[in-house]
């Protein structure tokens, strides 16, 4: 699996697996465990979870998946903003570690910005890093102004990544956040990479044009539209992506998406159908 370097110089795989909506239903648990295990076997060893997902349920699913193979996995979890005070983030991390049945996280993120001063959260994250409970820390759903503020604070220069919504259909971060992060060698973790076309109103001409264009490119590469959307993200050199899939066919497809080679012509076609931003847009949130 290809990797990117975090500012700490540690390597992070560019393609991983999300876990949102996992750990919510007991009847789904085994399928979720099997799915994540298959993904790891195929090389998608980065697992992204959060205390929020299933209110700890997703972390418990992940614990079963990584049991006996912790060292193979790059494990990411996130703290709720309302738990992100100095003492709160330390306690929340301990709870996550205990649910995950491990003694360290590879990366720990502030899930989104809340009312607690960032300086306090960063102090807690630095403590956790010094204690060896987390190897890196970062943020999520931060726009440029939040990032500017964060890096100006003590510990802000240790921010390893910013996890934000980014996909072909929502390219707003290309206006400012993406170049800002690139300039500082801070990789972006793209969530919601597989925007569900089902939600689009297909009577809308723009959506039809987009779907057709994606489908044509997919046909040329003997791939699916979703794989094209995923490859388009992964071919950029500052992006990590974490699609969530429980269906084994989806998992195999997501891994195979890495191997597609989009041509310059494909990229031009994509840019015509899915236009890059021409002005500042507010940060998209799932
Ligand atoms: P996503 O990964 O873009 O979409 C998940 C959906 O896409 C599932 O319904 C899945 O179906 C389907 N899917 C996956 N691979 C597919 C394929 N190859 N072909 C067709 N359908 C496919 O959306 P997401 O779960 O919202 O985002 C990914 C991860 O990012 C989350 O799981 C979570 O870890 C993280 N996230 C973070 C934040 C944040 O605020 N930081 C917010 C949202 C998400 P099946 O499950 O049936 O396979």
Tokens read off for 59: 């972390």
pLDDT at 33: 98
Q: Which helix (H) or strand (E) holds 6?
A: none
| Spacing, Cα 87 to ligand 1 middle (Å) | 32
| Spacing, Cα 193 to ligand 1 middle (Å) | 7
pLDDT at 63: 98
- Tell which atom from ligand 1 comes closest to the C-alpha of 194: 3
| Spacing, Cα 192 to ligand 1 middle (Å) | 5
Mean pLDDT score of the chain = 95
Cβ-contact 43, 1 below 8 angstroms = yes
What angle, 0 to 180 degrees and rounded to 10, lies between the N-to-C axes of helices 248-256 and 225-234?
Answer: 50
Q: Residues of 64-79 as b/e, b for ≥16 C-beta within 10 angstroms?
A: bbbeeeeeebbbbbbb
- Tell which atom from ligand 1 comes closest to the C-alpha of 140: 41
Question: For residue 247, what is the DSSP state?
Answer: S
What angle, 0 to 180 degrees and rounded to 10, lies between the N-to-C axes of helices 205-220 and 264-273?
Answer: 170
Residue 207 has pLDDT above 80, yes or no: no
Question: For residue 167, what is the DSSP state?
Answer: B
Length of the chain: 286
Residue 8 has pLDDT above 80, yes or no: yes
pLDDT at 196: 59
In degrees rounded to 5, what are phi and psi of residue 25?
-125, 125
| Spacing, Cα 155 to ligand 1 middle (Å) | 31
pLDDT at 215: 84
| Virtual torsion, Cα 79, 85, 90, 93, nearest 10 deg | -10
Q: Which domains are assigned to the chain? A: 3-273 (3.20.20.100)
Average pLDDT over residues 120-124: 98
Residue 147 has pLDDT above 80, yes or no: yes
Tokens read off for 238: 């500052």
Q: How does residue 59 score in pLDDT terms, banded at 50, 70 and 90?
A: very high
What does the radius of gyration of the chain's CA atoms come to, in whole angstroms? Answer: 19
- Ligand 1 is surrounded, with C-beta below 6 A, by 18-20, 48, 111, 140-141, 163, 191-194, 226, 242-247, 250, 253-254, 286
Average pLDDT over residues 80-105: 98
pLDDT at 95: 98
d(CA 115, CA 6): 27
Q: How does residue 195 score in pLDDT terms, banded at 50, 70 and 90?
A: confident
| Spacing, Cα 90 to ligand 1 middle (Å) | 28
The protein residue whose alpha carbon is closest to atom 24 in ligand 1 is: 192
pLDDT at 219: 86
* Exposed / middle / buried, residue 169 (Cβ in 10 Å: 0-12, 13-18, 19+): middle
The protein residue whose alpha carbon is closest to atom 2 in ligand 1 is: 243
**For the chain, percent of residues with pLDDT exceeding 70:** 97
């Amino acid at each position: 699996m290809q990797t990117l370097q975090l500012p700490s110089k540690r390597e992070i795989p560019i393609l991983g697996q999300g876990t949102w909506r996992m750990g919510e239903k007991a009847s789904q648990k085994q399928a979720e465990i099997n799915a994540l295990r298959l993904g790891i076997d195929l090389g998608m060893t980065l697992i992204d979870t959060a205390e929020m997902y299933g209110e700890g349920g997703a972390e418990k699913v992940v614990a079963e998946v990584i049991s006996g193979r912790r060292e193979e996995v790059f494990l990411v979890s996130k703290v709720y903003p309302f738990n992100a005070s100095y003492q709160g983030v330390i306690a929340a991390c301990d709870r996550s570690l205990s649910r995950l049945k491990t003694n360290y996280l590879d990366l720990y993120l502030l899930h989104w910005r809340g009312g607690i001063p960032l300086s306090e959260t960063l102090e807690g994250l630095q403590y956790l890093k010094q204690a060896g409970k987390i190897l890196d820390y970062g943020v999520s759903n931060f726009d440029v102004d939040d990032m500017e503020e964060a890096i100006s604070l003590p510990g802000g220069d240790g921010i390893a990544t910013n996890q934000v919504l980014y996909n072909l259909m929502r390219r707003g971060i290309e206006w400012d956040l993406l170049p800002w992060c690139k300039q500082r060698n801070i990789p972006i973790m793209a969530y919601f990479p597989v925007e569900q076309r089902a939600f689009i109103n297909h009577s809308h001409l723009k959506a039809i044009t987009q779907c057709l264009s994606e489908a044509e490119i997919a046909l040329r590469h003997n791939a699916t539209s979703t794989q094209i959307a995923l490859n388009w993200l992964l071919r950029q050199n500052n992006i990590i992506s974490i699609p969530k899939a429980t269906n084994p066919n989806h998992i195999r497809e997501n891994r195979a998406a890495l191997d597609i080679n989009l041509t310059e012509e494909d990229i031009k076609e994509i840019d015509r159908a899915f236009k890059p931003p021409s002005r500042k847009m507010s940060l998209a949130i799932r």
